[in-house]
Amino acid sequence: MLEPPDALIAARVRERVAAERLDLGVDPTIADRLVREESRRLVEAGVAGVGPGIADEAAGRAAIAALTGLGPLQPWYDDPEVEELWINGPDAVFAARGGIPIATGVRISAEQIRDLIERLLQRTGRRVDLSSPFADASLPDGSRLHVAIPEVTRAWTCNIRKFDRGIRDLSTLVALGSLTVAAAEFLRMAVLAGCTVIVSGATQTGKTTMLGALLSAGRAGERVVSVEETFELDLGVRDWVALQGRQAGLEGSGEITLRRLVKEALRMRPDRIVVGEVRDAEALDLLIALNAGLPGASSIHANSAREALAKLCTLPLLAGRNIDAGFIVPAVASSVDLVVQCELRRGRRRVVEILAPTGAAPAGVIEASPIFRLDGDRLAPTGGHPARTAKFVAAGFDPAIVLARGAG
């Protein structure tokens, strides 16, 4: 049985790459050149009667995808409506459109899966092995890659979550129906006033996108320093430094944690500090920074805005036994100005509540007032107002005007 032209071209290019000691990840034009040359040789061999002689543009594109892209998954990855791809095994490849998972029908061999994962990780400088079977990485286009390998899984698996660079501001979210105009204006006013905003929600609800849109609404001269496990944020901010963590090396050393990055970020003269997502003891370091008066922002997994506040009070306790809830709860109550709760329902991502802590925490429970809440299918003002308005007043804003307009 004859080998498909794209597979034949890819195999010949791999042979040349090994023989000439080339690195396709350094210069993407190398793969293009080699594929063109091998395609031409394949056609010439066919003319001479010593080969299949079939090498059209489709075969060339498939060969490029196999060498530098996602192979048979490339058409799915190039589909702008696909948000995420994941591989559970050779016969289990899935995609998500509008938050709804679908089976792709793509078959990919175990060898192809491993080759794909190793190639993607090579570009990022991350690795997986028996001692470190998980990896998170940011791909060159901003997409997030998560990998898990045996023995913690039965087969090599990965998730590739695409990042939509088309959504970078609140007005775009309004156009998509994720926010109302009044809610967007209120949030923009809060960010400009230097309020600390926490974005909460379940997985896949658009927390990172919302966080980026909020930060892009900040003052033009504001210096933002962000901290993430792997780069995901794409901010429309002029003065922005992005930091990401690092896993330990083969010797077990060299790890850079989020806690370390938060401390380093404070030495970089930030006007606002951002933690992409708090999920562990780094919440304590963020809270200490916020409690010192530095505006901040972060995302957190939670089922509701109030649960987000409760979780933010719990995570710092993971930093050690000497951390007391008697300090943490009042610190969260006084440091967090707004919580924006996001939701994904029937393929639609939207904000369902905006909550404003009052600053008080009687009996260890943070008081908070809902400012916007989903009313039927519309995010509407509740009639409540932020109890703390000092930051708004100092910036020359009156949130009551926007809230009254939204209620009208």
Looking at this protein, which amino acid is placed at residue 99? G
Residue 319 CA, chain-centre distance (Å), reads: 25
> Does 3.30.450.370 match the CATH number of domain 72-163?
yes
Tokens in use for 197? 């905003």
Report the pLDDT value the prediction gives residue 159, as an integer from 0 to 100: 96
Residue 97 CA, chain-centre distance (Å), reads: 17
Burial 240-256 (b: 16+ CB within 10 A, else e): bebbbbebeeeeeeeee
CATH of domain 170-407: 3.40.50.300
Q: Are 282 and 244 in contact (CB under 8 A)?
A: no
Helix 28-47, helix 57-68: angle, nearest 10: 140
Looking at this protein, which amino acid is placed at residue 247? Q
The total of other beta-carbon atoms located within 10 Å of residue 122's CB is 13
Report the pLDDT value the prediction gives residue 56, as an integer from 0 to 100: 55
Report the pLDDT value the prediction gives residue 408, as an integer from 0 to 100: 59
Dihedral sign (CA 253, 254, 258, 261):
positive
Residue 396 Ramachandran class (φ > 0 left, ψ -120 to 50 alpha, else beta): left
Q: Are 93 and 106 in contact (CB under 8 A)?
A: yes
What is the distance between the alpha carbons of residues 394 and 255, in angstroms, rounded to a whole number?
Answer: 41
What is the distance between the alpha carbons of residues 167 and 210, in angstroms, rounded to a whole number?
Answer: 9
pTM for this entry: 0.84
Report the pLDDT value the prediction gives residue 307, as an integer from 0 to 100: 97
End-to-end CA distance of the chain: 72
Collect the ranges in the chain with pLDDT lower than 50. 1-2, 47-50, 53
Report the pLDDT value the prediction gives residue 2, as an integer from 0 to 100: 42
Spatial CA neighbour of 170 closest among 218, 240, 202: 218
What is the distance between the alpha carbons of residues 64 and 32, in angstroms, rounded to a whole number?
Answer: 7
Tokens in use for 1? 């049985």
What is the distance between the alpha carbons of residues 258 and 274, in angstroms, rounded to a whole number?
Answer: 11
Question: pLDDT by residue (tens digit) across 306-358?
Answer: 999 999 999 999 988 788 888 999 999 999 999 999 999 888 899 999 999 99
Domain segments of the chain as ranges = 1-68, 72-163, 170-407
- Can you tell me which residue has the tokens 């606002």? 272
SS3 89: strand
Report the pLDDT value the prediction gives residue 339, as an integer from 0 to 100: 98
SS3 41: helix
Spatial CA neighbour of 261 closest among 292, 293, 298, 235: 298
- Can you tell me which residue has the tokens 């995609």? 95
Report the pLDDT value the prediction gives residue 44, as an integer from 0 to 100: 61
Tokens in use for 194? 């230097």
What is the distance between the alpha carbons of residues 301 and 203, in angstroms, rounded to a whole number?
Answer: 7
Spatial CA neighbour of 242 closest among 267, 224, 220, 221: 224
Q: Give CA separation, 322 vs 245, 279, 325, in Å.
A: 26, 19, 10
What residues contact residue 44 under an 8 Å CB cut-off, 6+ apart? none
